[in-house]
Structure 1
Amino acid sequence: MSTARTVLVIGGGAAGNAATVFLRRAGIAVDLIEAKDDWNATAGSGITLQGNALRVLRELGVWDQVKASGFGFGSVGITTPDGTVLHVARDLRTGGDDLPATVGMQRPRLQRILIDAVRDSGASVRLGTTAEILGQDADGVSVRFSDGSEGRYDLVVAADGLGSATRAAIGIGDKPEPTGMAIWRVAAPRPAGVIRTDLAYGGPAYIAGYCPTGDTTLYAYVVEANRDRASIPPETYADEMRRLASAYGGHWPDITEHITDPAKVNYTWFDRLLVEGSWHRGRVVLAGDAAHCCPPTLAQGAALSLEDAWVLARLLTASDTWDDALFQAYYERRVARVRPVVEASVQIGRWQLDGVRDADVPGLMGRTMTMLRELP
């Protein structure tokens, strides 16, 4: 492949950052633009990375930093609302036996690791910048940037998130749909006894859980039915989450006492998205949340986005011809893996919303996670 080829990556999240690093490693010139001035370097509380995400991060060359920054563990506990442990299940190592089943880490730390990898790759980065697709032909895409400058690229990778403006601009009408649930998240100090994820079902929320993210940190979350966001003033976020969390026992009282700053509490609806048919129009290709999104009931959002970047980059760097057939092959390869994860993630939440008590949640989770052990 000619190293003269150029790619524009729109969006500096997991998919965009990973795609940039993989393409630069192959000698392809990459410009990455990100709408946020701070490159999302401080956003979010924590993230749960399953083994298939760790596998891609190892391919990116950042596994050592991730391992040093996060907290690895291999099981999940199921508890009653009062904290009584009912069952501890061993997590499947979806990334292979040489990687932990799960690593929890602070989301801003992961983003900084990926930012450093992009910087080290030699890619051109422009922050606080958006792009408009002016037009395209069989050979490339013309783009105008928000600062008035223009460029032309052999390919545009639209990794600009769930509300992707690029997705809409190229005529893909799919939009995220709320599933009926919402989640409160917060980062907090980690009690010494928290060495894995524990999930409590029941109580005033559908799920109350936490995940260790380092030697001294964790992130905690409470899942409830979604509410009109306009009815919840941001200054009350800590009060609202603390009210829900205070009903739970075990390690929760130690966590709840630190839910005091509303600016550190995040409230988000669960959404579902799966773009059907293809993830491209001409030479503009979707990746990550721009193409698919699912509730975090299987903790697979970031993993699937990272996998998109890995698969797309491998296809691009292995072919001298970038055409509809290649982009459709990317879609077909990814949708076969993404669809069951999206459907399972939504189904688990639907069972809870509908109060189905005999649902085979362990079986569905086990089948889905076993599938993810295979290489994407």
Structure 2
Amino acid sequence: MTAVSKVAIAGAGVAGLAAAIQLAKAGVEVDVFEAKPELSALGSGITLQGNALRVFDALGAWDDIRAAGYPFVGLNLRAPGPGAPVVAALPDAKPGGPDYPSTMGMPRPALARILLEHAERAGANVRFGAKVTWLVQDDDEVEVFVDGRPAGVYDLVIGADGLNSQVRELIGIDTKPEPTGMGIWRSFVSRPAEVESTELYYGGPVYIAGYTPTGDDTMYAFLVEKAQDRFGVGDEEATRIMLEESRAYDGPWNSIRADLEAGAHANYTWFTKHLVEEPWNRGRVVLIGDAAHSCPPTIAQGAAQGLEDALVLTELLTQHDSLDDDLWTSFHERRLPRAKAVVDASVQLGQWQIDGDRDADVGGLQFRIAQLMAQPV
């Protein structure tokens, strides 16, 4: 017996689809409402740490994701300037444990497609162009309104609708993402054969320049700069800015610039931070993923934390007989400290860059988080 028999999920991102897969596999009736008109994913690529891969295995999606991505070990640090020499090769850490690669890069659209296929195969009903606009709940149920019209009555609503969560607002939580002072340019480009893992360049005109392989022939490149108002910039100007800011970086960046000059698209976002304090639920409505917490991608744990939220929540929902205080206490005890540790560490790593703190223990902090993530959630 499960604590719920019918669940609505707002948002068809990584966390929402992971929750849909697990609940549908357990025989729960699941409706996913996604405001976007079709499956899409902003950005070009995604870095997935081992603890994310461990969740994909629990979902039954690991084989498909492994085939679509590029697993690798280690992290190289390069210096800006001629030749871009490797100045450090950091040792492998396996935050998912010994059974999984330490890290994997893959195209975001491929990840979204695989998770959607698994959710629908498990029996979840996914509706696009359907925004949750109102909720009415009592002690026993929640009525969901989509685009202003009644859409159904549910035992539970999961708000997995991202940074600017409508569900978060509807249940009266006023915590919102705040800019951290950094912005990032990203572009999806071809992968030179010499790039076999993530490589980061510190120094030069931006805080961080880097790239991550996402496939045999692809990778995504990024430049992290001081946050600026870049959101009205057109495609050609975006490419020009990324080209100019990358000229201090040699090595594989020469191939990246060739792709940008040939028309590779550049996109821009700001880094944000927020953490909803306990509880993440209001009655029979609960937040997970970016709706509950966000952080800069300085340790690439954003997606992993949303996946862990979904895994823990669905495990509790399928093991308990009722949606009671014990369930919510267990959920928050297992998720809030871990998510907070990731948010705090990710923000600290970025702040050290902003402050120019050359004595900061970057490697030590990254290692401590990797060790924490290696412990099963």
TM-score w.r.t. structure 1 length? 0.97
Q: Is 1:135 paired with 2:136? A: yes
Answer whether contact 2:187 2:264 (CA < 8 A) is retained.
Answer: no
Deviation for aligned residue 1:133:
3.1
What one-letter code is carried by the residue in structure 1 that aligns with 2:247? S
Equivalent in the alignment of 1:373: 374
Specify the alignment match of 1:58 in structure 2.
57
Aligned to 1:7: 7
What is the CA deviation profile of residues 219-256 of structure 1, one whole-angstrom value per residue up to 9, with x for unaligned ones? 00000000023564444111111111122011111111
Q: Give the aligned partner of residue 125 of structure 1.
A: 126
1:347 and 1:26 mapped to 2: Cα distance? Answer: 39
User: Which piece of structure 1 moves more, 255-264 or 102-111?
Assistant: 255-264
Partners of 1:181 and 1:194 in 2: how far apart? 25
What does 1:1-376 align with in structure 2 at a 5 Å threshold?
A: 1=1, 5-40=5-40, 43-82=42-81, 83-146=84-147, 148-230=149-231, 232-260=233-261, 264-376=265-377
Q: How many residues align?
A: 375
Q: Deviations over 1:175-209 (max 9, x none)?
A: 00000001000000000111011100010110000
* Equivalent position amino acid for 2:37 in 1: D
Aligned pair in 2 of structure 1 residues 266, 328: CA closer, same or farther (>3 Å)?
A: farther
Taking the aligned partners of 1:100 and 1:211, their CA distance within structure 2 comes to 15
| Residues 279 and 328 in structure 1, CA contact (< 8 A), matched pair in contact too | no
Supply the AA of the counterpart residue of 1:77: N
CA contact (8 A) 2:3 2:320 kept: no
1:223 partner SS: strand
TM-aligned CA distance change 1:183 to 1:139, over 3 Å: same
Please tell me the residue identity of whatever aligns with 1:267.
Answer: Y
Q: Does the aligned pair in 1 maintain the 2:209–2:222 contact within 8 Å?
A: yes
Is the 2:235–2:265 contact (alpha carbons within 8 Å) kept by the matching residues of 1?
no
Post-superposition offset of 1:329: 2.5
User: Which digits, 9 at most, give the CA deviation of each residue in 1:73-117, with x for residues without a partner?
Assistant: 111001101311001112211111111111111111111111111
Q: Secondary structure of the equivalent of 1:296?
A: coil
> Shift of residue 264 of structure 1?
2.3
Superposition TM-score, scaled by structure 2 size = 0.96
Q: Distance in 2 between matches of 1:266 and 1:353?
A: 22
Which of 329-338 and 259-268 deviates more? 259-268
Structure 1 residues not aligned, in runs of 5+: none
Structure 2 unaligned regions, length at least 5: none
Segment of structure 1 superposing worse, 259-268 or 146-155: 259-268
Q: Identity over aligned residues, as a percent?
A: 50
- 259-268 or 318-327, which deviates more: 259-268
Q: Runs of 4 or more off by more than 4 Å in structure 1? A: none
- Give the Cα–Cα distance (whole angstroms) in 2 for the partners of residues 315 and 102 of structure 1: 28
1:264-284 Cα deviation digits (max 9, x unpaired): 211000000100121010100
How far did 1:43 drift? 3.4
- CA–CA separation in structure 2 for the residues paired with 1:367 and 1:88: 18
CA deviations 1:41-91 (Å, max 9, x no partner) are x53211111100000011111111111111111110011013110011122
How far is the alpha carbon of 1:146 from its aligned partner?
1.2
